[in-house]
Structure 1
């Protein structure tokens, strides 16, 4: 599954000159955790709830602007980015929202909530098909037999390379919607 299939759009953005108060109102009214910051139709940063909460050290006389608190540079994705890779980035960098860009233009955002929704919408058969597709790229398709029940993937490996089996289990565990993986060696049917 790709970013374009789960991203939220149209995107609500702010500019560096937007006041922090206005950005906070947008976040609150739309129940967002972050807003892409654009200038001349290109992504220049992101402003999050945490950015807007931490305004320590600012004199009260000057209005706080998004440019004063936004994070830059900002991680972004292409519409073709893979959901498993997106999830890994979000967890590793501990971020909740990634802008999706086509060239330099923001065309959507992927949030943790989008990933959860995508994971919940997966059927067991759809998960098995996705795991099977990925394993076919790892080694010959007839090496593996995959089944999924309630998000638990069972991989039967008819090959003899344990490292390959471990790699297959790792790939399967990265498929959004998979909650657990069992991979085991199978001997071929003698018939």
Structure 2
């Protein structure tokens, strides 16, 4: 499965001149942890997350001052996104394998990754997107498989069963080329974790 199969293309973005307050409001309202920052051409120029927007922005509790504790010296927080955004730790393209995306997220400790195509933001993929892809109902996955395999040998060419994301396909013809095409189509479907083919002869013999 590729990034393009699960990524969100209707991405909420901010611009370098967006106020930090507005960006923080978007994160809180939408339940996001980070927002891509783009210029007017749609080119990804950075990412702003909860971390950058919270840094030096919460006031110190005044009760400490009553007890004579010295006020902590803090740097004035940036007013606009351009002053607080960071370069993304990692980006991927629409054809990146989802297994690689998951590894990159864990390696860099991020919950979302911008998807970039030819320098421009094409989408975003989150941990939730990937979790959703592996928890689709088997009957939904099976229906999509049957629909896709209808273009390879017709709707009666294959017998399909799905259990826990694992796909078993009975191949009535045994054509190696068509089987390869079918496997590529099936493995690209969200929710598929494994694909096994069984020939009609083997199924009858068992």
TM-score (norm. length: structure 2):
0.57
Return the match for 1:113 from 103, 111, 128: 128
Change (3 A) 1:13 1:25: same
Match of 1:26 in 2: 26
Deviations 1:32-88 (A, max 9, x none): 11110112321011011121111363337xx52212221215421111111100000
Q: Do structure 1's residue 45 and structure 2's residue 60 form an aligned pair?
A: no
Query: What's the TM-score, normalizing by structure 1?
Result: 0.61
1:85 is the counterpart of 2:91: no
Paired positions, count: 135
Q: Which of 58, 70, 73 is 2:75 aligned to?
A: 58
Structure 1 residues 102 and 122: alpha-carbon distance in aligned structure 2, compared to 1, 3 A threshold:
farther
Root-mean-square deviation (CA), in Å? 2.9
Residue 96 (structure 1) aligns with: 111
Regions of 4+ moved over 6 Å: none
Structure 1's unaligned 5+ residue stretches are 127-147, 153-175, 179-191
Give the alignment of 1:41-190 within 5 angstroms. Answer: 41-55=42-56, 57-59=74-76, 64-121=79-136, 123=138, 150=164
Larger radius of gyration: 2
Q: Indicate conservation of the 8 Å contact 1:42/1:105, yes or no.
A: yes
Distance in 1 (alpha carbons) for counterparts of 2:113 and 2:26: 17
Q: Distance between the aligned counterparts of 1:122 and 1:87, measured in 2?
A: 21
Structure 2, gaps ≥5 residues long: 58-73, 142-161, 167-190, 194-206
Give a deviation string over 1:105-156, Cα, whole Å, max 9, x none. Answer: 11210011111101212749x7xxxxxxxxxxxxxxxxxxxxx96579xxxx
Q: Please give the secondary structure, in 2, of the residue aligned with 1:52.
A: helix
What is the rounded CA distance, in whole Å, between the counterparts of 2:164 and 2:82 in structure 1? 46
Q: State the distance in 1 between where 2:56 and 2:84 align.
A: 8
Report how far residue 177 of structure 1 moved.
7.9
